[in-house]
């Protein structure tokens, strides 16, 4: 019998290893290089911010990061770790979801999937790669069968950034991210010069290094074929690698500086020193181009750019409907059925256009010939004519004008619709004008009538009850026991001085300070994304408002009026715990160990009440320092419990998986195991570690050993160096056993196996010395412990857990009321 159980154990072990090996391997961040048969999504490395490959010295990382526009979409990027600046992007036009995979398959192919399709891949010319390595220079390299032969490297395919030492050669292109108008800019070496252009349908150059007077000429003549950033300057070489020019962009020539050039979505090249931690987000004063009005879209199209303002040119303001922003581009339509009658008007005096110094004239002749050619060319929207040379320049797309002395030698004409000009006054149009007006007014009146009738019908269907019935229902609800005070929106708007003093921003909405007429201070939370009606909202609020405990923030009242949903809480004078344990300035007040321990015990008592003493068990799901508030006496109170029931399903899902509190989520959130109150226990353990250590659980500025605080704490406990875990700024009483107790309780709480974690009631008993604290297990694998624990219980009557029996709980999601984000 025992032999049979032993063989069953061996078979189950191999099966488990087979099933979870890929998951376990994918979650480990690689150093230096990765090999074929490697794949994973952002969720596999969620605890490493989606980054799965580090360079040998950890200066750069390769992996997933969110887009600026949508935190649910991800880009595959190379990041400089010190400054957290993205220096290369694979899939800028096609972001992916957190479940989409990066793949380095067994045949040496590298690609990124979006669902079942491939959105990005590396073209290796049919050669299979044997390794991918991230260099300390920031260069991502693919090696062929011979590991010394490069078959692809990111330095040959720049995106919007050039790094120190990276060679930029003819044929490459630096491309900015699209701006809000979906317009991009690009840099390239062309015709022996480096040129910046705007990505109109017909690209228009607006800067070149040859024309920039700030460069230093080392050798005259010759054409540029390669450029690279070296030290504090940009150097330009010919085909023989002879230095022609250099462009000095900083006075800092130190050897420790790592400079980059980045092309922004405003069309400006800026220079950054990645090693300067204090100013990594700011660039040098040197910009390309130097004049902001030399860029195509400093102002909107057709506007005149001054150094400090934008204004419509004088020629366009003289139109009957002066407006630089509307309708001017529509005159360029080459569809004759849609093309309006047009005419050319003088745009005004002193106007210059950025592209005039870089493009060849469209033709030569006199002004009349130039105007006739533009009128007959359906693509022409503007022309510039230089009297002295007879050069005529025509453009099919226009950016902003420049107010410049160089504009005095040009006359400029804009093509506009004849319908908008005063010249159109024919008898035919005058004859039909009254009929057009009558038809237009009649149509507007009919539409307004239909909208009004529709609104009345909708209001009648949506709100059938009379005001008297609604008032009776409200009065009845207010008489229910435990129902908080019902405020009007006007009440809370007055109390908060029109929501002027913002205390903070949370996942559920913004919080504002308010004062009632009787002097009572409140913290008013404006909820966002609420998907419930008034009745359901008040029913849930009545449950939250009926929960009273000294360590839970009390709900004083609410507002459910129209689309407004607000909660009024008691005011906590010392704000959130986060600002007290993570001190930003040395002069900030340091919490003593006595105060910290009392905060830890108070928080545990509040959670224990939610889990075990409420009529309906409540799981918080978002325990973190920001949700532990302190009153004037530094007494801890848990906030934001019970709010998940007020969120829409879609917002709750995003809120859980993607908000910035991943360091507090229990493993079962990631592995799709049932969520129970033990998930709160895990988050509490992480919080308790931060209270003890006075630091965040992950700090990339620490050494590799100390960066992940829970791992460091386990190691120090094994070595008996508990003082290394305690905040070094605190005075330590060797006889105070509460330090070791708190550390051991924290390590019990963050066990990967939820069955090993104690209940919150047990946590309170251990912290207060009522129950003994056993030494916690020093290691547990994320998935293996849970599987083997259940397996051994089912195959052996004698198998027992090393934890106290009270630590175990079988409560699952279906039996509880969720209160945090899901």
CB 96, CB 74: distance < 8 Å: yes
In this structure, the answer to whether residues 33 and 118 fall within a common structural domain is yes
* 434 within some domain: no
In this structure, the answer to whether residues 750 and 763 fall within a common structural domain is yes
Closest by alpha carbon to 267, among 180, 190, 206?
206
Domain that holds residue 644: 575-779
* 516 within some domain: yes
In this structure, the answer to whether residues 545 and 683 fall within a common structural domain is no
In this structure, the answer to whether residues 169 and 94 fall within a common structural domain is no
In this structure, the answer to whether residues 724 and 587 fall within a common structural domain is yes
pTM metric for this prediction: 0.53
Residue with tokens 């690609």: 111
In this structure, the answer to whether residues 641 and 741 fall within a common structural domain is yes
Q: What is the DSSP letter of 530?
A: B
CB 284, CB 383: distance < 8 Å: no
- For the question of residue 335 being annotated catalytic, the response is no
* Counted domains in the chain: 5
What distance separates the 2 farthest-apart alpha carbons in the chain?
109
CATH code, 579:
1.10.510.10
In this structure, the answer to whether residues 141 and 186 fall within a common structural domain is no
* Dihedral sign for Cα atoms in the order 579, 635, 567, 656: positive
In this structure, the answer to whether residues 625 and 724 fall within a common structural domain is yes
* 335 within some domain: no
- Please report, in angstroms and rounded to a whole number, the separation of the first and last CA atoms in the chain: 45
In this structure, the answer to whether residues 94 and 143 fall within a common structural domain is yes
CB 238, CB 225: distance < 8 Å: yes
Q: Which residues of 253-272 are buried (b: 16+ CB within 10 A; e: fewer)?
A: eeeeebbbbbbbbebbbbbb
CB 151, CB 124: distance < 8 Å: yes
* 453 within some domain: no
CATH code, 519:
3.30.200.20
CA distances from 512 to 270, 403, 506, 575, 802 (A): 39, 46, 11, 12, 48
pLDDT at 789: 34
In this structure, the answer to whether residues 202 and 266 fall within a common structural domain is yes
CB 643, CB 819: distance < 8 Å: yes
CB 412, CB 302: distance < 8 Å: no
Q: Which of 417, 434, 463 represents a domain boundary (last residue)? A: 417
Radius of gyration for the alpha carbons in the chain, expressed in angstroms and rounded: 34
Strand partners, 65: 75
Strand partners, 251: none
Does 526 carry a binding-site annotation? yes
In this structure, the answer to whether residues 652 and 766 fall within a common structural domain is yes
CB 567, CB 573: distance < 8 Å: no
pLDDT at 648: 40
pLDDT at 416: 84
* 11 within some domain: no
DSSP3 helix / strand / coil % (the chain, rounded to 5): 30, 25, 45
Closest by alpha carbon to 263, among 174, 393, 364?
174
The residue annotated as part of the active site, out of 49, 160, 391, 622, is: 622
Strand partners, 132: 34, 142
Q: Which residues of 205-214 are buried (b: 16+ CB within 10 A; e: fewer)?
A: bbbbbbeeee
* 423 within some domain: no
pLDDT at 60: 95
* 721's tokens: 């160096």
CATH code, 345:
3.50.4
In this structure, the answer to whether residues 531 and 664 fall within a common structural domain is no
* 132 within some domain: yes
* 1 within some domain: no
10-residue mean pLDDT profile of the chain (822 residues): values are: 52 46 56 94 88 94 91 93 92 92 94 94 90 95 87 95 94 92 93 94 94 89 91 93 93 80 94 72 81 88 86 75 58 59 83 92 94 91 92 93 79 79 39 64 88 77 46 47 79 92 77 90 82 61 80 88 86 87 69 92 92 80 88 89 49 37 75 78 93 87 84 89 86 82 93 91 93 79 35 33 38 38 34
């Amino acid at each position: 019998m025992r032999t049979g159980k032993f063989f069953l154990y061996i078979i189950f072990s191999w099966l488990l290893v087979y099933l979870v090996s890929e998951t376990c391997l994918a979650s480990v961040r690689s150093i230096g290089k990765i090999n074929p048969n490697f794949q994973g999504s952002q969720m596999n490395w969620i605890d490493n911010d989606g980054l799965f490959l580090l360079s040998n010295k950890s200066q750069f990382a390769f992996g997933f990061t969110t887009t600026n526009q949508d935190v649910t979409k991800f880009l595959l990027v190379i990041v400089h770790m010190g400054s957290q600046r993205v220096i290369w992007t694979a899939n800028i036009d096609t972001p992916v979801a957190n479940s989409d995979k990066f793949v380095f398959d067994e045949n040496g192919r590298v690609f990124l999937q979006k669902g079942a399709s491939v959105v990005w891949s590396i073209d290796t010319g049919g050669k299979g790669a044997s390794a991918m390595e991230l260099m300390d220079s920031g260069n991502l390299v693919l090696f062929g069968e011979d590991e010394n032969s490069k078959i692809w490297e990111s330095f040959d395919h720049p995106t919007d950034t050039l790094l120190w030492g990276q060679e930029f050669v003819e044929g490459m292109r630096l491309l900015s991210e699209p701006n809000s108008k979906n317009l991009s800019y690009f840099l390239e070496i062309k015709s022996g010069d480096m040129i910046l252009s705007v990505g109109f349908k017909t690209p228009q150059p607006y800067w070149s290094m040859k024309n920039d007077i700030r460069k230093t000429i080392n050798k005259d003549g010759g054409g540029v074929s390669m450029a690279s950033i070296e030290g504090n300057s940009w150097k330009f070489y010919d085909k023989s690698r002879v230095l022609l020019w250099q462009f000095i962009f900083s006075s800092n020539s130190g050897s420790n500086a790592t400079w980059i050039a980045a092309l922004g979505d405003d069309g400006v090249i800026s220079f950054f020193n990645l090693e300067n931690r204090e100013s990594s987000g700011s660039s040098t004063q040197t910009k390309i181009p130097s004049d902001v009005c030399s860029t195509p879209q400093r102002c909107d199209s057709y506007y005149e750019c001054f150094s400090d303002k934008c204004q419509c040119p004088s020629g366009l303001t003289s139109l009957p409907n002066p407006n630089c922003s509307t309708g001017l581009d529509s005159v360029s339509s080459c569809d004759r059925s849609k093309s309006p009658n047009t005419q050319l008007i003088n745009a005004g005096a002193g106007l210059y256009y950025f592209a005039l110094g870089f493009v060849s004239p469209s033709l030569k002749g006199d002004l009349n010939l130039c105007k006739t050619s533009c009128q007959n060319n359906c693509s022409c929207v503007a022309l510039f004519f230089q009297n002295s040379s007879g050069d005529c320049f025509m453009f099919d797309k226009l950016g902003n004008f420049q107010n410049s002395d160089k504009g005095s030698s040009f006359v400029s004409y804009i093509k506009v619709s004849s319908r908008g000009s005063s010249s159109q006054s024919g008898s035919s149009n005058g004859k039909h004008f009254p009929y057009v007006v009558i038809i237009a007014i009649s149509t507007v009146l009919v539409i307004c009538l239909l909208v009004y009738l529709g609104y009345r019908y909708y209001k009648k269907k949506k709100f059938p009850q009379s005001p008297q019935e609604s008032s009776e229902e409200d009065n009845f609800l207010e008489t229910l026991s435990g129902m908080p005070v019902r405020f009007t929106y006007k009440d809370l708007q007055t109390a908060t001085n029109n929501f002027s003093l913002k205390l903070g921003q949370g996942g559920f909405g913004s919080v504002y300070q308010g004062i009632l007429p009787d002097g009572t201070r409140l913290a008013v939370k404006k909820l966002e994304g609420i998907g419930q009606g008034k009745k359901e909202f008040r029913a849930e609020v009545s449950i939250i408002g009926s929960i009273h405990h000294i360590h839970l923030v009390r709900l004083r009242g609410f507002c459910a009026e129209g689309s407004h949903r607000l909660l009024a809480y008691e005011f906590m004078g010392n704000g959130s715990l986060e600002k007290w344990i993570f001190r930003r300035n040395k002069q900030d007040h340091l919490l003593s160990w006595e105060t910290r321990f009392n905060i830890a015990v108070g928080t545990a008592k509040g959670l224990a009440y939610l889990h075990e003493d409420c009529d309906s068990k409540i799981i918080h799901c978002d325990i973190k320092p920001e949700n532990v508030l302190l009153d004037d006496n530094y007494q801890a109170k848990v906030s934001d419990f019970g709010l998940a029931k007020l969120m829409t399903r879609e917002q709750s899902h995003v809120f859980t998986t993607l908000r910035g509190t991943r360091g507090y989520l229990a493993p079962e959130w990631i592995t799709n195991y049932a969520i129970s109150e033990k998930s709160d226990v895990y988050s509490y353990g992480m919080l308790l570690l931060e209270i003890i250590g006075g630091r965040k659980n992950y700090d990339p500025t620490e050494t590799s050993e100390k960066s992940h605080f829970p791992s460091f704490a386990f190691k120090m406990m094994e070595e008996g160096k508990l003082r290394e875990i305690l905040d070094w700024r605190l005075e330590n009483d060797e006889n105070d056993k509460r330090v070791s107790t708190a550390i051991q309780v924290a390590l019990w709480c963050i066990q990967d196996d939820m069955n090993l974690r104690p209940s919150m009631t047990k946590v309170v008993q251990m912290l207060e010395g009522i129950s003994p604290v056993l030494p916690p297990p020093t290691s547990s694998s994320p998935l293996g412990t849970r599987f083997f624990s259940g397996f051994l219980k089912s195959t052996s009557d004698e198998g027992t857990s090393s934890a106290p029996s009270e630590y175990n709980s079988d409560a699952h999601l279906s039996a509880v009321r969720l209160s945090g984000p899901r």
